[in-house]
Amino acid sequence: MDQFLQQMVNGLSLGSIYALIALGYTMVYGIIKLINFAHGDIYMIGAYIGFAATTYVHLGFFPALILSMIVCAILGMIIERVAYKPLRNSSRITVLITAIGVSLLLEYSMMFFVGAEVRSYPKVLTNHLFHFGGVRVNMQQIYILVTAVALMILLQYIVTKTKTGKAMRAVSIDKDAAQLMGIRVDKTISITFAIGSAFAGAAGVLVGIYYNSIDPLMGMMPGLKAFVAAVFGGIGSIPGAMIGGLAIGIMETLVAGYGNSMYRDAAVFAFLILILILKPSGLLGKNEREKV
Amino acid sequence: MRVLSKKNIMILAGLILTFAIVYALRNFGILTSFHEITIAMVCINIILGVSLNLITGFTGQLSLGHAGFMAIGAYVCALINMELNSTFGFILGVLAGAIIAALVGVLIGIPTLRLKGDYLAIATLGMAEIIRVIFLNLEITNGAAGLNGIPRYTNWFWLFFFTVTTVVLISNFINSSHGRACISIREDEIAAESMGINTTQYKVIAFAIGAFFAGIAGALYSSYFYFLRPEIFGFLKSIDILIIVVLGGLGSITGSVIAGILIAVLTAALQSFAALRMIIYALLLIIIMLFRPQGIMGTKEITDLLNFSKRE
Amino acid sequence: MLIIDKLTRSFGGLTAVSNVSMQINKGELVGIIGPNGAGKTTLFNLLTGVYEPSSGTIKLELNGEEVNIGGLKPYNVTKAGLARTFQNIRLFKDLTVLDNVRIAMHQNVQYKLPSSFFRFNNFYQEEDKLLEEAEQLLDIFKMSHKKNELAKNLPYGEQRHLEIVRALATKPAVLLLDEPAAGMNPFETEELTNTIKWIREEFDLTVLLIEHDMSLVMEICERIFVLDYGMLIASGTPAEIRTNKRVIEAYLGEDVSNA
Ligand SMILES: Nc1ncnc2c1ncn2[C@@H]1O[C@H](COP(=O)(O)OP(=O)(O)OP(=O)(O)O)[C@@H](O)[C@H]1O
Ligand SMILES: [Mg+2]
């Protein structure tokens, strides 16, 4: 039992990181129907910024987190402007391939400039361990959970309560109609990318302090898994992405803990294929059918 | 006999000439082993590009898992060939690899090909990842260490033979009624269904044919390079193949042939600059999509351009 | 020959087709009219399998056999003998006119997959036959000289014509035309009217026709069904429909009686 609870705690920490990344996927998909392949790499960049900020500038956890979120938000907007916006009216396959290109570009530019080697994060948090019965929870895990929950509440507030959030929802339902109603569609899309990327940046810093090591290709797998999470929750749905992220994180730790950790990634993808076949709209997604 | 049309005779002459030139250069010792590897990669790239083009360019189903089928062909052929160390074993291995890849293609295609666009892309990516993890964990494939000492039977003759066969068979298919059924799916799936095309069936057929030839490419690869490791067939390999298709033109066999050659040469030239090579690939993808999404050839073929005879 | 019984389809809260029953006899030319959003296209989508019915049945009687086509996949419906055109033209835009027609002929092609790779003799025989038949069909609208043009480069009227040719190429027994005259001038409409009559005789077809152009409908249809808000509100000969009170109300303002 204790071991199971321990796995759950570990799964929840990993899952909240996936959830933060999944939110960006879901928001971008909801608004321009693009699987932003580069999203996982923004998370990687976020991790490096956090690394630089803590190692070279000796910033603390929160300043590093905020800095990373800001830089990633700007990066996200630039990518959208340069690579995706000109393709607004192109076929989806074209935009998807572009996104794969952007993803590779970020990964290998990073590798080119900082080298392929794995770097370890400095200790920004104390090593304090909390014991709840037989279950151990460390400081990192608490920071991750608290930060993730705080950010999600903030996002829920932005989307449901602010004007920007309303614009985002309007654009995601019908871009043309939103335009006619005087909503600035381009600006709204830009903001969506900024928010999604900022969250990915935050996830990058969190994962850096959690696993203690970062490398230029670290975004690929978690990016894809976060995508699986977004699909599981129902792509386009914000609560769905949160639930999906947590579920994937827990599933992965359980497979690694009780099964064969080599099959961890395969399990996530097998799960994805299952969802896509059984319920492609995900837990909270809407079924859409083309009008003929 | 229509097989002996003027167009076909000219193509045949060109092929014999190409074969003879490379053969002669090799035998006179003018080609270094570096050249030879590049030539092998040209052939393998062409087979991979043309076969993926059938799935993605002609049938319109974005697959990000082509390397998975290549892996199956490579491992099956290597395992058979290591048991049966003879030309017969090699040919048996190539065919078995291709057939098993095609079967897996059908097996995976039936559930996943109901998915649309982006979802299919991710599902195929996931499937290739699963295949790779399985090879990583199987005893018979020797896990992460991979297979070593695979006998080499892939030579210029076989490379040439399989490349030409692939291109001819897939072009024949594309220009048949069954091939047109596949193309109609790319154009408009709902209209295709309403015109009597069983779209799911034809997607699976395209997927299986593509997998079959990717299996051949994998088999040739394994028998040329002596060793195999699961990581050779990761996501990046699938992207490599996609780049060939996109650069050449989604829906052009000629384009995939040209791009297969270009990419092999580019890869060889940038061999010692791995990161730089990937940056160039990435920029290539983005720039093509932004400024020339139809790639080098669009959906045109060399036969359209030369216009040997008016197209039927 | 086509028996529709209590057919219903809803999208969320909206019932686009509601409890519609019709019987159409072999060889009839039937019109389906109704204001915008009445559910006409949805009815076609249900008949052709593009949408599944929420409830109700569709039966097709052919050569003494009865097939239940409700809920079948579109390609099986087409195989059973129903073909359609699309209101919002859905040609294979980037393919040639010829390929558009040949694709529709695919379901009747006999040669198998191996022959498409290795080109056995039957490949050449059948491809020749396809080409010949396709040209004949295109000649109905005098288009065979345009067979190598891309469908998207045809003028609008010819695109509508190609839609009809493509549907005919599936060798249907029942032809469903969704607003074939949309966007045409009176002269073109007149020509189309004659062609539809001719096609029906020549190919021995049963025709269902959705059309807003009343003059066309009144002129060629033997019977007319009127839909409004998804419900069948009237049916009868053109003369009966012209004077039907409910129809006039549904079209409020539009003068049906003078058409
Ligand atoms: N896929 C769908 N999802 C949701 N609503 C739909 C769908 N298809 C049709 N509808 C709705 O069903 C109703 C009937 O539409 P339909 O296209 O059948 O009308 P119509 O009679 O063909 O009109 P028109 O004369 O304008 O072509 C409309 O309100 C339409 O918005
Ligand atoms: Mg309509």
A220 vs B contacts (CB less than 8 Å): 235
Candidate of C40, C43, C179 to mutate for ligand 1, largest count of ligand atoms within 8 Å of Cβ: C40
Instruction: Flag whether pLDDT at C12 surpasses 50.
Output: yes
Q: Provide the token pair at B15.
A: 């092929």
* Range of lowest pLDDT (A75-79, A216-220, C244-248): C244-248
What is the residue-averaged pLDDT of chain B? 92
Give the residue ranges of DSSP H helices in chain B.
Answer: 6-27, 33-52, 66-83, 87-112, 117-137, 156-174, 177-187, 189-194, 199-225, 235-248, 253-269, 274-291, 302-306
Nearest to A203 by CA among A76, A7, A4, A13: A13
Residue A290: band (very low, low, confident or very high) from pLDDT cuts 50, 70, 90: low
Complete domains list, chain C, with CATH: 2-93+157-257 (3.40.50.300), 95-149 (no CATH)
What average pLDDT score do residues B187-210 get?
96
Asked if A93 has any chain C CB less than 8 Å from its own CB, the reply is no
Question: Is the CB of C34 within 6 Å of ligand 1?
Answer: yes
* Range of lowest pLDDT (A184-188, B116-120, B150-154, C187-191): B116-120
> From the candidates B118, B189, B240, B288, which should be mutated to test the interface with A, based on the most A CB atoms within 10 A?
B118
Establish, for the pair of chains B and C, how many residue pairs have beta carbons separated by less than 8 Å: 105
Domain total for chain A?
Answer: 1
Bridge partners for C132 per DSSP: none
ipTM: 0.92
Is residue A116 domain-resident? yes
pLDDT, residue B302, reads: 84
**Range B88-97 contact pairs with CB under 8 angstroms and sequence separation of 24 or more:** B90/B151, B90/B153, B90/B154, B90/B158, B90/B223, B93/B219, B93/B223, B94/B162, B94/B216, B94/B219, B94/B220, B94/B223, B97/B72, B97/B73, B97/B215, B97/B216, B97/B218, B97/B219
What average pLDDT score do residues C44-62 get?
94
CA–CA gap between residue A14 and residue A18 (Å, rounded): 6
pLDDT, residue B309, reads: 46
Is residue B184 domain-resident? yes
**Range B39-44 contact pairs with CB under 8 angstroms and sequence separation of 24 or more:** B39/B156, B39/B159, B40/B154, B40/B159, B40/B220, B40/B224, B41/B264, B41/B267, B41/B268, B42/B260, B42/B261, B42/B264, B42/B265, B43/B159, B43/B160, B43/B162, B43/B163, B43/B220, B44/B159, B44/B217, B44/B220, B44/B221, B44/B224
Note the pLDDT tens digit of each residue in A25-43. 899 988 888 889 899 999 9
Domain total for chain B?
Answer: 1
- Residue B164 CA to its chain's centroid (Å): 12
pLDDT, residue B311, reads: 44
Is residue A286 domain-resident? no
CA–CA gap between residue C36 and residue C52 (Å, rounded): 22
Residue A275: band (very low, low, confident or very high) from pLDDT cuts 50, 70, 90: confident
For residue B212, the enclosing domain spans 32-307
Is residue B123 domain-resident? yes
Tallying the residues shown for chain B, one arrives at: 312
pLDDT, residue B112, reads: 84
| pTM, full prediction | 0.91
pLDDT, residue A30, reads: 86
pLDDT, residue A104, reads: 94
What average pLDDT score do residues A230-248 get?
89
Q: Which of A105, A262, A290 sits opposite B137 (nearest CB)?
A: A262
Across the beta sheet with C231-236, the strand order is C82-84, C174-178, C206-210, C29-33, C223-228, C231-236
Asked if A292 has any chain C CB less than 8 Å from its own CB, the reply is yes
pLDDT, residue A94, reads: 86
Instruction: Flag whether pLDDT at B310 surpasses 50.
Output: no
Is residue B9 domain-resident? no
Q: Which of residues 98-157 of B touch C (CB under 8 A)?
A: none
* Range of lowest pLDDT (A170-184, A210-224, A258-272, B247-261): A258-272
Work out the percent of chain A whose per-residue pLDDT is above 90.
Answer: 49
Q: Which atom of ligand 1 is nearest to the CA of C35?
A: 25
Residue A172: band (very low, low, confident or very high) from pLDDT cuts 50, 70, 90: confident
Cα dist. A50→A40, A43, A64, B147 in Å?
16, 11, 5, 41
Is residue A4 domain-resident? no
What average pLDDT score do residues B76-94 get?
96
pLDDT, residue C256, reads: 55
Residue A150: band (very low, low, confident or very high) from pLDDT cuts 50, 70, 90: very high
pLDDT, residue B192, reads: 97
* Range of lowest pLDDT (A119-128, A174-183, A202-211): A119-128
E-state strands within chain A? 119-120, 129-132, 135-138, 213-214
pLDDT, residue C259, reads: 47
Report the residue of chain A nearest B292, measured CA to CA.
Answer: A94
What average pLDDT score do residues C28-36 get?
94
* Range of lowest pLDDT (B224-233, C9-18, C164-173, C240-249): C240-249
Q: Provide the token pair at C198.
A: 């001719």
Give the pairing of strands C206-210 and C29-33: parallel
E-state strands within C63-145? 65-68, 82-84
What is the residue-averaged pLDDT of chain A? 89
Bridge partners for C83 per DSSP: C175
Cα dist. B58→A288, B138, B207, C75, C243 in Å?
26, 35, 11, 20, 54
Q: Which residues place a Cβ less than 5 A from the ion ligand 2?
A: C 41, 87
Is residue B6 domain-resident? no
Counting DSSP H helices and E strands in chain C, the numbers are: 10, 10
Bridge partners for C4 per DSSP: C22, C58
pLDDT, residue C255, reads: 53
E-state strands within chain C? 2-11, 14-24, 29-33, 55-62, 65-68, 82-84, 174-178, 206-210, 223-228, 231-236
CATH number at residue B290: 1.10.3470
Nearest to B51 by CA among B110, B96, B101: B101
Question: Is the CB of A289 within 6 Å of ligand 1?
Answer: yes
Cα dist. B199→B61, B184, B255, C1 in Å?
11, 9, 26, 28
Nearest to A206 by CA among A47, A54, A7: A47
Q: Which of A95, A103, A266 sits opposite B130 (nearest CB)?
A: A266
For C94, the 3-state DSSP assignment is: coil
For residue A125, the enclosing domain spans 14-219
* Range of lowest pLDDT (A112-121, A253-262, B265-274, C136-145): A253-262
Instruction: Flag whether pLDDT at A269 surpasses 80.
Output: yes
Bridge partners for C71 per DSSP: none
Question: DSSP code of C235?
Answer: E
Is residue B74 domain-resident? yes
Is residue B211 domain-resident? yes
